[in-house]
Structure 1
Amino acid sequence: MPGGLAALLDDVSIIARAAAASIDDVSVAAGRAGGKAAGVVIDDAAVTPNYVTGFTPDRELPIIAKITRGSLKNKLLILLPAALLLSVFLPWAITPILMLGGCYLSYEGAEKVMEWLGGEEHGETIDDPIKDMAAFEKRRVSGAIRTDLILSAEIMAITLASVAAETLLVRAAVLALVGVLVTFGIYGTVALIVKMDDIGLRLAQRSNPRTHAFGCWLVNAMPGVLTLLSIVGTVAMLWVGGGIVLHGLAELGLGTIEHLAEGVRHAVEAATGVLGGVFGWITYAALSALFGMALGAVIAFVLHKVLRVGAKDH
């Protein structure tokens, strides 16, 4: 019996060491994948406040909580199993699916820009008379979750590409870990951003002069910050959407436009010396956004002027 117990404990120790090694592999791979997906994470954080601004303060956090739950479902219940299945059985389908998502983001961003420039608004907005606020909130949350699904798909695709050489179990664990960490990181940041004015108001009520002054500054600054985030979020949609489609076209053998953009990027990098990496990245992002704007404008024209989808009656 002692010999059997010793053998059992030895087996347990071997299993524990193997598990620890697997966990270490997962954490390292997740860190590597998360770093590559950082750009899309930033875009997601910038886009989301658009969906919660304009509501009364008591509804902001509940709306963010609903979007967070929807984002977790997107990543863990839809995208994770779909990504694993596609990587095993239909790896060729990943690129076209991502390109469809890129077209959607380009359309959303282009439509927003056209509305800013005086174009016709499509769909219900917070500035319109809202007959049923609960139904409007539900539609806003649904819209945010749809956008999150596309951005999350890009995050998961980048993650999957980063761990393609790992075992299926490690790939699944990394996708789950990155999905959870990214979701809480993004929406925790969004919650902090949208509640900063309330925090500022509390600080402004303090008797300490410095605390009072900082609170007043925070309250006065937040409208401008939220406006800036709205602009950044729209540009992010165009940048990410255009970039996804450009990269997808290149993978399908139609890389002329992406090669031109890369050529401009390299030229800028060569001309700007030490800061070449930064300016090159900005240049490529700007060209991707311009491509996304053009693509989104074409899609919007076809939907609203040709197919008459979402057109308002006058």
Structure 2
Amino acid sequence: MPSGLVALLDDVAAIAKLAAASLDDVAGAAGKAGAKAAGVVIDDTAVTPRYVVGLSPDRELPIIAKIAMGSLRNKLLFLLPAALALSALAPWAITPLLMIGAAYLCFEGAEKVWEAVSGDSHADDVLEVSDPKELEDRQVGGAIRTDFILSAEIMAIALAELPAQTFWMQAAVLAAVGVAITAGVYGVVALIVKMDDIGLHLAERSASGVRALGRGLVTAMPVLLKALAIIGTAAMIWVGGGIIVHGLEVFGLETIPHIIHGAAEAAAHAVPVAGGVVEWLVGAAGAAVVGIVVGGAIVALLHLIPRKH
């Protein structure tokens, strides 16, 4: 009996070690896969705060919560099963779908650039809706639809970066990526949209230093939102272009990727002190050029050509 108990405890310990190792594998793989999607995550974080513009401050956090739940639903109920099915049945389709999503990101970014240059913006359309509930539903619905595209890119990038894994390991890693990124993105978004309220609260404190910090937060809020809009647009173009460049390499169309990689390596050799940083910056700039060309072509097709009729 004692020897049987010892053997049982050894088995339990072995199972526990295996489970711990599996959790470590999931966490490690999720971290690496999620890091590759960082550009889209930045874009998602930068884009979302604009969906609470024009809404009551006391509804900001509930609206962010609704969008976060919609994002989680997008990732876990729709995109996760689709990604697993693609991986099992049509892995060849992952790269083309990534490139299609990347083209959409390029289009979104290029359209924002066009609106900034031309002054033809649709950002004020939401102010035409007078019913608060209708406006809230419209904003939440629009945010969840945009999130679906960004979430699809995040899950596809994560799937493409996974090494050979079992079906359940892939499912666990993608679920971990989806939950972690959703929590991170919408936690930061909630903090951003309430920063002015936090600043006002601190500005009413008695300590002069705290009051100064509060006033600084209130003053910084418009600057931060403008910076996030620029960062989000740049991230769309850069990430989309980078995915397209990588896709061209996968399909053997290496002229453009070769030019970008060659320019990045040459720049790194020219500045050996910060070679790695310079190489990344030049590579990112090359991807952004590809992104703005692709996005600009789509904008021209959808917006400029119809206006000639």
Judge same fold: TM > 0.5, yes or no. yes
State whether structure 2 residue 52 is matched by structure 1 residue 42: no
More helix per residue: 2
Give 1:223 deviation, angstroms. 0.6
Give 1:181 deviation, angstroms. 0.8
Contact 1:105 1:147 in 2 (8 A): no
Contact 1:265 1:284 in 2 (8 A): yes
Distance 1:284 1:91 in 2: 27
Distance 2:52 2:185 in 1: 14
Distance 1:114 1:269 in 2: 32
Aligned to 1:202: 201
State whether structure 2 residue 154 is matched by structure 1 residue 155: yes
Contact 2:103 2:295 in 1 (8 A): yes
1:68-147 equivalences in 2 (<5 Å)? 68-121=68-121, 125-126=125-126, 128-147=127-146
Give 1:11 deviation, angstroms. 4.8
Q: Residues 118 and 237 of structure 1: is their aligned pair in 2 closer, same or farther, counting only changes over 3 Å?
A: same
Q: Residues 30 and 145 of structure 1: is their aligned pair in 2 closer, same or farther, counting only changes over 3 Å?
A: same
Contact 2:112 2:233 in 1 (8 A): yes
Q: Residues 141 and 289 of structure 1: is their aligned pair in 2 closer, same or farther, counting only changes over 3 Å?
A: farther
Deviations 1:230-289 (A, max 9, x none): 111111111112222222222222232222122221122222222222222222222222
Aligned to 2:189: 190
Between 285-294 and 82-91, the greater mean CA deviation after superposition: 285-294
- Structure 2 unaligned residues grouped into runs of 5+: none
Aligned to 1:178: 177
SS in 1 for 2:53: coil
What percentage of residue pairs aligned between the two structures are identical? 59
Q: Residues 206 and 238 of structure 1: is their aligned pair in 2 closer, same or farther, counting only changes over 3 Å?
A: same
> What TM-score results when the alignment is normalised by the length of structure 2?
0.89
Aligned to 2:25: 25
Between 62-71 and 299-308, the greater mean CA deviation after superposition: 299-308
Q: Residues 188 and 98 of structure 1: is their aligned pair in 2 closer, same or farther, counting only changes over 3 Å?
A: same
Distance 2:259 2:112 in 1: 27
Deviations 1:28-60 (A, max 9, x none): 222332333333323322232233334332232
Give 1:199 deviation, angstroms. 0.3
State whether structure 2 residue 65 is matched by structure 1 residue 65: yes
Contact 1:239 1:288 in 2 (8 A): yes
Between 155-164 and 259-268, the greater mean CA deviation after superposition: 155-164
Contact 2:102 2:153 in 1 (8 A): no
Contact 1:50 1:233 in 2 (8 A): no
Distance 1:132 1:304 in 2: 30
Q: Residues 49 and 105 of structure 1: is their aligned pair in 2 closer, same or farther, counting only changes over 3 Å?
A: same
Distance 1:301 1:100 in 2: 17
Contact 1:34 1:178 in 2 (8 A): yes
Q: Residues 177 and 242 of structure 1: is their aligned pair in 2 closer, same or farther, counting only changes over 3 Å?
A: same
Distance 2:125 2:254 in 1: 38
1:213-224 equivalences in 2 (<5 Å)? 213-224=212-223
